[in-house]
Homo-oligomer: A and B are copies of this chain.
Amino acid sequence: MSRVFVALGVSVDGYVAGPNRGPKNPLGDRGPSLHEWAFKQQSFLRHLSLPGDGETGDNDRVCASIFDRIGANIMGKRMFDEGEANWPANAPFNNHVFVVTKEKRASWERPGGTVFHFVNEPIERVLERARDAAGNKDVRISGGRDIVRQYLNAGLVDELLLSVTPVIMGEGLRLLEGVDRQKVALAIEETIATPQVTHVRYRVKRA
């Protein structure tokens, strides 16, 4: 059965976004610094049809393995709103993206195979839809922080991959704030250490 996973870049102090987020400032002040490592990887550049060769080391293997396994994405409305204004025409998803929102809107197909579906349903039902779309591949809860928290607290996430960069963010959105430790427990499954980033893959269990 396909797995449900979260893969996020976080600062050393646990933030996934900086302060003052919005469509004109995606990820907030200094937030993009959390993903600088990813932007340099070959698999990332190819996935977005961007120019440049990119790096091909361990960070690229992490990046590529994320893209390879995604069969469908689930995303919060705010992440979509922040992204919509800033993603290239070829949005970096290449498959079905279920946007959890109260807004009614027809599905929106982008070049490269990304199709956004706007769904106003309980997160359990949204996950069922994503599983159906994903087939044998995995479902990524893409973000933002709030929807990740909802899925974690509902016990619906199998795996949490944190790519920790040595950035001190200091303010913004902390990934695990509000995650219920009485419901959610983590165990290290794999660590891929590079000089730039520490990738830790946690298995998520019911506490």
Contacts and interface: CB of A to CB of B under 8 A. Distances in A.
B202 A12 contact: yes
A98 to B, nearest CB: 26
Interface string A167-199: 111100011110111001111100101111110
A158 interface: no
A166 interface: yes
A166 B195 contact: no
A126 interface: no
Number of copies of this kind of chain in the complex: 2
Contact of A198 (B14, B170, B185, B191): B191
Given A177-B13, A198-B200, A200-B198, A168 B184 contact: yes
A136 B202 CA distance: 40
Given A193-B191, A196-B188, A202 B170 contact: no
Interface in A24-70: none
21 contacts: A12-B14, A12-B176, A12-B202, A13-B14, A13-B174, A13-B176, A13-B177, A13-B179, A14-B14, A14-B174, A166-B185, A166-B188, A166-B202, A167-B186, A168-B184, A168-B185, A170-B181, A188-B195, A188-B196, A188-B198, A191-B193
